[in-house]
Structure 1
């Protein structure tokens, strides 16, 4: 396998995501909320949420909107998936905050 990068998997995922966004007619905030709902349905790991929460916040998606998505899909995906997702989202946010603090510390 020939790679032109040290992060070929991440590069591929990023390219797939960008391609999907370009081909989708949904507004960015709706697209990201839809993806978060899909992550819940799949019982995705925290890192999957991390990849979507940053862009969601940059698109002015609020924590209340994410909570509303969890409430809306709970009857379909079940309480166990929603509770798992809430924990994974919390873990992803904690990781993002820790990285931001490290970055801020190294720049100051």
Structure 2
């Protein structure tokens, strides 16, 4: 099998995994907190992309995401929540595209 051409993504993924392992929060709660923090700072799609796998693995649902964004809306504002929603959608699209490319690369 050839080496995958994603060294930066691999390092960032390792950092995310390390933060999950060292936190005292359960993984589900940690992923919801990370989502709230990303919405608050106006994180780009790539930041959400790094959390998709761990969030899914911890059982975070679409309803959870909606609940978190609704909960932080009064604090972070409408613009940040709308931006977060769009960036999450873009991240999901990137994840699908990346998975497709990696499948083709492995063939």
TM-score by length of 1: 0.80
What value does the CA root-mean-square deviation take over the aligned residues? 2.3
Q: CA deviation at 1:16?
A: 3.8
Partner of 1:7: 7
Aligned residues: 102
Quick one: structure 1 residues 8 and 45, their matched pair in 2 at CA, closer, same or farther if it must change by over 3 Å?
A: closer
Structure index of larger Rg: 1
**d(CA) in 1 for partners of 2:62, 2:19:** 24
**d(CA) in 2 for partners of 1:105, 1:40:** 33
Partner of 1:98: 97
- Give structure 2 stretches of 5+ with no counterpart: 1-5
Quick one: structure 1 residues 95 and 103, their matched pair in 2 at CA, closer, same or farther if it must change by over 3 Å?
A: same
Moved over 6 A (4+): none
- Give structure 1 stretches of 5+ with no counterpart: 1-5
